[in-house]
Amino acid sequence: MLKRSLRFAAAAAVLVVAAAGCSSKEDRRTPGPSGSAGWSAGTDEVQIGLVAPMTGPFAVLGVSQQNSMQVVVDQINAAGGIGGAKVKIVTRDVGLDPAKAVAAATELAGDQRIKLVVGPSITAFYNAAKATYEQNKKVNCQPAVAGGTFNDLTYGFRSQDRLTDDVERILQYLKSKNITTIGEVYEGDDTGKQVNDLLKSKGPQYGVQLVGYEQTRTDDQTHLPYVQKLASAGAIWISSNVSGAKTMAAAAEAKYKGVLVGGSGVQNISFLEAAGDAAAGTVFAAPNYQFPIRDRATWKAGYKTHTEAIEAKYGVNTGPKTGAKSPKGTAIAADCVYAYWKAADAAKSLDSAKVAAAIADLSLPDTETPSGCAIKPGAEHEFYTLACIRAYMWQKDGQGWFTADVTPAG
């Protein structure tokens, strides 16, 4: 009875504060009757929001994020919760509807029980939501927002490879192979243009010259004309979307002699499904992704634990045609929850400003994190540094598809 009336009072207080136009501080240290043992006594539950497509063509993304986050949540709860409070994930399925994505982000941003929001995915959706997060002082972490910067945000963090790092890693690889020219076959969208700018500006540092940018269309039946125009280039940067697979197929058909390269999207086994054998030899840059490396002994410890937990709990995706496998999780989303946990513990607080500052100050070693990448956000609010972005090459043998880490030494 007492518990109930206390809760009611707390809820009423939240309402009053919210109505007054300022956000409440959840840093109530008053010892409550709930009996939580840790520093967060008084808060029964920490909720983590996920705004993602759970149905529709991009459901794979949302489901993978949810799975990976859940594995870490289980781990936290098993370890006694965050400062004693149990953790729970609240999911909002927004499909690919920008209006729903923004509405869900706004809802979760305004909900004081939610301490961390992951999503919405896709740069454009996030751009529409991030001001609301800042206003509501909502700590948020983005594992699927490739574009833009985070250094101007107080509460937003990115747990994804930056395009600039992908490009640098690939350029480094090309330099090590004495390849001096590169072309680009990509949609004429923001990402395609950004890659174009980066190749142009960073290429010369690695002795690589950009020789052309063929903008593709969604209704292209084949990319043969594009590949033929770039036939003399030593490398071609392909799209991280399905159309990248079209470029792979066209390169095989045209007997292209150079190497195909791309960003972290190319790790998706749907490329193998779509392009078939033509995908072999493609090099992509991505944050630590050791799953297709067969020798598990070489996997980073934290990554191995996380990935094997995903396999045990959710299984693996198997390409129906190629038999290629990928885990039903995405470790960079797990990093969001993991980093929040570690930061809140360090700050001994659930106060958003304090946690946000603590996340920025984190320095977690790559052996410990679910992704296998060191987390060191700093003022940039970027979880990962170039060191963690590796170059991998898709390969195939009698046992199926696998990757080799082809990152040049040094």
Partner 1 sequence: MSIDVVLDGLFSGAAYALVALGLAVVFQPTRIMNFAQGEALVLGAAVSYQVVALWKLGWLVALVMVVATSIVLGLLMERLVILPVRLSGSRYAWIIATLAVALVFQSLFTLAYIDVPALRPAPMIGGQVSFLGNHIDWQELLTILAALAVMIAYDLFLRRSAYGQAVRAASHSADTAVLMGIPVQRVVMMSFVIGAVITALAGLFVAPVIFVAPASGLLFTIKGFTAAVIGGVGSPRGALLGGFLVGLLDTVVRSAISGTAGNFAVFAALAVILVVFPSGLFGKPMEAH
Structure tokens at 168: 């640098």
Residue 388 has, within 13 A of its CA and on its CB side, a CA count of 28
> What is the total count of residues that contact partner 1 (CB under 8 A)?
34
Q: What is the DSSP string of 35-97?
A: ---STTTT--EEEEEEEE--SSTTHHHHHHHHHHHHHHHHHHHHTT-BTTBEEEEEEEE-TT-
Cβ closest to partner 1, residue 65 vs residue 270: 270
From CA 254, how far away is CA 249, in angstroms rounded?
A: 9
Cβ closest to partner 1, residue 4 vs residue 217: 217
From CA 208, how far away is CA 177, in angstroms rounded?
A: 11
Site for partner 1 in 38-67 (CB under 8 A): 56-57, 59-60
Cβ closest to partner 1, residue 195 vs residue 249: 249
Cβ(325)–Cβ(318) below 8 Å: yes
Cβ(236)–Cβ(260) below 8 Å: yes
Among 34, 123, 215, 407, binds partner 1 (CB under 8 A): 215
Site for partner 1 in 185-204 (CB under 8 A): 188
Q: Is residue 321 within the footprint of partner 1 (CB under 8 A)?
A: yes
Q: What is the nearest approach in angstroms of partner 1 to the Cβ of residue 246? A: 5
Among 35, 320, 398, 410, binds partner 1 (CB under 8 A): 320
Amino acid at 124: A
Of 348, 370, 315, 295, the C-alpha closest to 141 is: 370
Site for partner 1 in 82-141 (CB under 8 A): none
409 SS3 class: coil
Site for partner 1 in 222-281 (CB under 8 A): 222, 224-226, 228-229, 242, 245-246, 249, 253-255, 270, 273-276
Q: What is the nearest approach in angstroms of partner 1 to the Cβ of residue 242? A: 4
Cβ closest to partner 1, residue 246 vs residue 306: 246
Cβ closest to partner 1, residue 263 vs residue 370: 263
Q: Which stretch binds partner 1 (CB under 8 A): 16-24, 101-109, 221-229, 361-369?
A: 221-229
Cβ closest to partner 1, residue 233 vs residue 249: 249
Q: Which stretch binds partner 1 (CB under 8 A): 209-217, 306-314, 332-340, 369-377?
A: 209-217
Q: What is the nearest approach in angstroms of partner 1 to the Cβ of residue 222? A: 6
From CA 279, how far away is CA 403, in angstroms rounded?
A: 11
Helix boundaries (H) for 185-316: 190-202, 224-229, 242-253, 270-275, 301-314
Cβ closest to partner 1, residue 157 vs residue 213: 213
Beta bridge partners of 250: none
Say how many Å lie between the first and final Cα of the chain, rounded: 64
CA angle 85, 114, 130 (to 5 degrees): 145
Cβ closest to partner 1, residue 46 vs residue 274: 274
Among 218, 295, 297, 398, binds partner 1 (CB under 8 A): 218
Report the interface residues with partner 1, using CB under 8 A. Answer: 56-57, 59-60, 188, 214-222, 224-226, 228-229, 242, 245-246, 249, 253-255, 270, 273-276, 317, 320-321
